[in-house]
Amino acid sequence: MKIARRFAWFLIAATLLVCLNAGFLAPAHYATQFREAPNAPPSRAHWLGTDALGRDLFSRTLYGTRVSLLLAPAAALLSTLLAGLIGGAAGYLGGIWERLAMAVTDLVLSLPWLFLLITVRALLPLDVSPMTSIAVTFLLLGCLGWAASARVLCAGARSLRQAEFVLQARVSGMHGFRLFAVHVLPNLKPVLYAQFWISVPVFILSEANLGVLGLGVAEPMPSWGGLMRELETMWSPMAEAWKLAPLLLLVMVVGSLQLLISREEIPV
């Protein structure tokens, strides 16, 4: 396990380093179209080949990683915190608060937020900068993604309410938010970590789906989600194996993330 964890650290650090220096390391700008060579296989000039418009896929992967790798974990953190606060507090407080919070959670799970997202896009000016657009996108994702785990956290906090150590802390004079933060929240960590780990790739992929509505990353800027959407048009994985590169990278990063998180989690 130790070797695996070391490898995970190395992978994440290397990925971060490489994509932060994308400006130096990328052989071409992500928007430059090499129109004589669309859909080209890997070669010396284009290490991962080119896409349908002749843009270098290696460069696009580097730049796309930068956007996704920095913003998706931030959004995942936001949604995890919201879930922890809302779900945990609801279970901890119980009674009318719990019922209210769970009703809100169920609504957030069921409503078609697509229309809210479309409205948000309409409110933004057309020439909004790409960074603003993508920041808004991930902010929205973070604000909407907490509902599923909030319910689980509520059930967990509810059962912790009666736990011995909580009763003991109460008797010794700890109350309210301090009690919640020191004793209840840390015991909800497994669910919080699970929520965080799931949210990262889910948000990365959702960002691409939101591109259909005008949110997300604006062309020609690449994003991991956008690169993955191109997989829909790939029919023979064997013939065009290099197009799987972003997927493989994402799988490895997500796997490494879990190995790192599990260190803080329960030892297995």
Partner 1 sequence: MSSVSSVVNNERFAGVNEMVRNVLRHALMIAATALLGGLLTATMVRFAPGFSVDERQLDSRLSPESMQALREARAAERNVVHFYASYLYHAAHGDLGVSRTLNRPVRELLAERWPATLRSAGLGLLLGWVMALTLAVSAAMLRRGTFDVFATLLAGAVLCIPSAVLALLSVFANGPAPLVVALIVFPRLYRYCRNLLAQSYNRPHLITAYAKGIGGPRIFCAHVLPLAGPQLLALAGVSVSMAFGAAIPVEAICGIPGIGQLAWQAALGRDLPLLLTLTVLVTLVTLFANLTSDVVAQVLAPRQG
Partner 2 sequence: MIPRAVRWLMLLLWSCTALGFAQSGELRFSLHHEPKTFNPLQAEEDSSDTIVYLTAGVLTRVNRQSQALEPALATSWKITDAGRTITFDLRPNVYFSDGTPFTAGDVAYTMRQLMDPALYSPIADQFRTGNGTVVTRELSPHRISITFSAPLVGLDRLFDQVAIMSEHSPHKEMAVLGPFYVADHKPGAYVLLQRNPNYWKKDAAGHQLPYLEYVRLDIQSNRDAEALRLRRGEIHLINELDSEYYDRLASMAPGTLHDAGPGFDTEQMWFNQVPAAPLPTYKLAWFRSTAFRRAISEAINRADMCRVIYNQHAQPAIGPVSPANHFWFNAALQAHPYDPQSALRRLQQDGFRQQGGKLVDRDGHAVEFSLLTNAEKKSRVQMAAMIQQDLDKIGIKINLVTLDFPSLIERITQTFNYEAVLLGLVNVDLDPNAQMNVWLSSGENHQWNPKQAAPATPWEAEIDKLMRTQASALDPQKRKAAFDRVQQIVWDQEPFIYLVHKNALSAISESVVGAQPVVFRPQTYWNIDTLRLKSGAGGH
Binding site residues, partner 1, CB under 8 A = 1, 4, 99, 102-103, 106-107, 109-116, 118-119, 122, 147-149, 151-152, 154-156, 158-159, 190-191, 193-194, 197-198, 201-202, 205, 208, 225, 228-229, 231-232, 235, 247, 250-251, 254-255, 258-259, 262, 265-268
Q: How many residues does the chain have?
A: 268
Neighbours of 85 (CB within 10 A): 16
CA distance readout (Å), 69 to 99, 152, 167 = 36, 27, 41
Structure tokens at 138: 């991930």
Closer Cβ to partner 2, 36 or 264, answer by number: 36
Give the three-class secondary structure for 174.
Answer: coil
Closer Cβ to partner 1, 1 or 45, answer by number: 1
Closest CB 176 distance from partner 1, rounded Å: 23
Structure tokens at 193: 């970590």
Contact 75, 142 (CB under 8 A): yes
Q: How many residues bind partner 2 (CB under 8 A)?
A: 23
At which residue do the structure tokens 């509810």 appear?
158
Among partner 2, partner 1, none, residue 110 binds (CB under 5-8 Å by kind) = partner 1
Neighbours of 32 (CB within 10 A): 15
Interaction of residue 220 with partner 2, rule CB under 8 A: yes
DSSP 218: P
Among partner 1, partner 2, none, residue 1 binds (CB under 5-8 Å by kind) = partner 1
Contact 154, 191 (CB under 8 A): no
Closest CB 2 distance from partner 2, rounded Å: 44
Interface residues toward partner 2, by CB under 8 A: 31-33, 35, 38, 52-54, 118, 121-122, 126-127, 211-214, 218-220, 232-233, 235
